[in-house]
């Protein structure tokens, strides 16, 4: 996506969750505007999708890069390899989940803010039987 992109919905990619090499790419350059699926029109083709809330992008097996700014991305971002660079930054209305063993990178003027008020308990596409726990021994910050 380049230039200004306005998204009302969920971006879904079906790649190999074990692919950490960036074979599949989703790149946002420029401004991204995001609106929740509940903003879709009340038309028959959107009725079921409007119930799938809490996720902006779910793309296991895809490397995702943001190189522009955004005000709010409405939901969880989950992918294999996530990068924010340049002036990329804004508010994420959920969490950022990196399935890759490679670190998520933030370079340039990438300021991220996380807003969890109004977040759904189990975002669309996630299984509530899985519980993630923070392990301080597995976390590190690296200055580049």
Contact 102, 123 (CB under 8 A): no
Q: In what order do the strands lie in the sheet with 76-79?
A: 11-12, 55-59, 76-79, 96-98
3-state secondary structure of 9: coil
The separation between CA 113 and the C-alpha centre of its own chain, rounded to angstroms, equals 13
What's the pLDDT score for residue 131?
Answer: 67
Does residue 118 carry a pLDDT above 70? no
Does residue 4 carry a pLDDT above 90? no
Does residue 28 carry a pLDDT above 80? yes
Q: 69-78: per-residue pLDDT in tens?
A: 888 888 999 9
Count of CB atoms within 10 A of residue 94's CB? 21
Rounded to whole angstroms, the Cα distance separating 28 from 65 reads 6
Helices (H), ranges, the chain: none
Rounded to whole angstroms, the Cα distance separating 101 from 58 reads 17
User: Nearest 5°: phi and psi at 136?
Assistant: -55, -30
**Can you give the pTM of this predicted structure?**
0.82
Does residue 29 carry a pLDDT above 70? yes
Contact 108, 85 (CB under 8 A): yes
Of residues 120 and 17, which shows the higher confidence score?
Answer: 17
pLDDT tier for residue 103 given thresholds of 50, 70 and 90: confident
Helix or strand (DSSP H, E) at 26: strand 24-28
High-pLDDT (> 90) share of the chain, %: 36
Does residue 130 carry a pLDDT above 70? no
């Amino acid at each position: 996506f380049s230039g200004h992109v306005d998204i009302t919905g969920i971006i879904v990619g079906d790649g190999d969750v074990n692919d950490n090499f960036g074979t599949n790419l989703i790149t946002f350059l420029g401004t991204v505007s995001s609106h929740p699926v509940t903003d879709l029109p009340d038309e028959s083709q959107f009725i079921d999708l409007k119930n799938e809330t809490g996720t902006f992008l779910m793309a296991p097996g895809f490397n995702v890069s943001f190189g522009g700014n955004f005000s709010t991305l409405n939901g969880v971002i989950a992918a294999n390899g996530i990068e924010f660079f340049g002036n990329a930054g804004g508010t994420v209305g959920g969490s950022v989940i990196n399935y890759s063993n490679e670190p998520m990178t933030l370079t340039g003027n990438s300021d991220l803010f996380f807003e969890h008020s109004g977040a759904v308990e189990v975002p669309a596409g996630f299984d509530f039987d899985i519980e993630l726990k923070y392990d301080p021994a597995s976390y590190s910050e690296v200055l580049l």
